[in-house]
Amino acid sequence: MQRFPRILLGAVSAAALLGSAAAAQEAGWCSDQTIRVFSGGPAGGAFNSIIDRGALQAAEDTGANVEIVYSEWDFDKMVTQFREAVSQRPDGIAMMGHPGDDALMPIAAEAAEAGIPVMYMNVDVPRVRAAFGSGYVGATLREQGRALGAETLRLAGDMIGEGDQAIVMSRWESENRAQRELGLVDVLEEAGIEVIKLQEAEGASADQMLQLPILTSTLLSNPGVKLIGYPGGPWLTAAPVFMDAVGKEPQDIIGVGFDLGQGVMQAFEGGYVLVTADQQPYQQGYLPVLSLCQQLVYQLGPLNVDTGAGFVTVDNYQDVVPLAEQGIR
């Protein structure tokens, strides 16, 4: 489906083009557009508050009216809110891809039929994007997970190896969401490490303490575990509490994972984290708003940006602390 009319430039004078370009670059150039942004987690959440800052900065820079939606990392709630958003007809939607291709496909079709451009963020939905020509801002998850595995083994050296055990946590029921943890599992298993794939407890994406009973019992049943792969920044922040609950000292169990934040910096300081893969959520908030404005006002194509920036490690985390304190990283 062709969502936007083709622009024919042949009969337009150079003076007219220059005049319209100058006008388009004025402050508030996107002020007539309302963008509904899915923040993912709870209001004030450590990770998604960085997404919020990016989205709000984009609103400041473009003039767009940005409406932020909070979903408590509840996939079913995201689907319901996405359907509600389409029915309420904002000009554009920046949508989390966590519920996956199958769940989002019929609503994405409704959005396309209504002429509402949708950008996806944080978790990719490649089949939906292929069907409707949408953009994506976020890490290439499987590759990011594999890269984290390789960096973990490099930094850990002889602290873990063939025959050892590791725990990796994720929302394994969601193939789209679990891609980065699956990449980490792949690399660890290729190194001969036995991986216990631990399911996130219900509601633990928003409140990590709900994971404490099952993680504690798993560690007590597997006293030889030498590494835990955590599925996000709030989880890395909780690592000291988890380790204290089972009587482990810093570095008794290697902690690795994804994302940053002030709490992650404190976990690095305490020796509970070796390395984390940064996916720059600030960009995941900023760039979808910018791209939707460009699509709506300039009729440009959607952006596709891999925000996986590399690694923050026990050796370089102090360089990032000031930005984490500002809520940017």
Whichever domain contains 227, its CATH number is 3.40.50.2300
Same domain, 155 and 38: no
Same domain, 194 and 259: yes
299, part of any domain: yes
Same domain, 147 and 199: yes
Same domain, 249 and 303: no
15, part of any domain: no
Low-confidence ranges of the chain (pLDDT < 50): 1-12, 14, 17, 24
Same domain, 180 and 222: yes
Same domain, 77 and 115: yes
Report the amino acid identity of residue 167: I
For the chain, how big is the Rg over CA atoms in Å?
21
**pLDDT value at position 156?**
96
**pLDDT value at position 11?**
42
Q: Cβ of 219: how many Cβ atoms within 10 Å?
A: 22
Could you tell me which residues come within 8 angstroms of residue 294 by beta carbon, excluding any fewer than 6 positions away?
Answer: 300, 303
Q: pTM of this prediction?
A: 0.86
24, part of any domain: no
Number of compact structural domains in the chain: 2
**pLDDT value at position 309?**
79
Instruction: Provide the H-helix boundaries in 1-88.
Output: 14-24, 48-62, 75-88
**pLDDT value at position 21?**
53
Same domain, 187 and 73: no
Same domain, 94 and 108: yes
243, part of any domain: yes
Euclidean distance between CA atoms 314 and 294, whole angstroms: 39
**pLDDT value at position 209?**
94
Q: How far is CA 95 from CA 61, 71, 132, 164, 324, in A?
A: 20, 11, 14, 39, 24
Q: How far is CA 286 from CA 64, 73, 177, 193, 318, in A?
A: 12, 20, 21, 39, 25
21, part of any domain: no
**pLDDT value at position 20?**
52
Same domain, 103 and 170: no
**pLDDT value at position 128?**
98
329, part of any domain: no
Same domain, 158 and 99: no
Do residues 253 and 215 touch, judged by C-beta distance below 8 A?
A: no
Q: Position of tokens 């599925």?
A: 231
**pLDDT value at position 26?**
83
Same domain, 189 and 220: yes
Residues of the domain holding 204:
141-278
**pLDDT value at position 3?**
40
Q: Give 55-85 pLDDT, tens digit per residue.
A: 999 999 999 999 999 999 999 999 999 999 9
41 closest CA partner among 134, 122, 140, 135:
122
Same domain, 52 and 73: yes
Grouping H, G, I as helix, E, B as strand and the rest as coil, residue 94 is strand
5, part of any domain: no
9, part of any domain: no
Q: How far is CA 307 from CA 34, 102, 139, 310, in A?
A: 24, 24, 5, 9
Report the amino acid identity of residue 1: M
One DSSP character per residue, 260-326 reads: --HHHHHHHHTT--SEEEE--HHHHHHHHHHHHHIIIII-PPPPEEE---EEEETTTGGGTHHHHHT
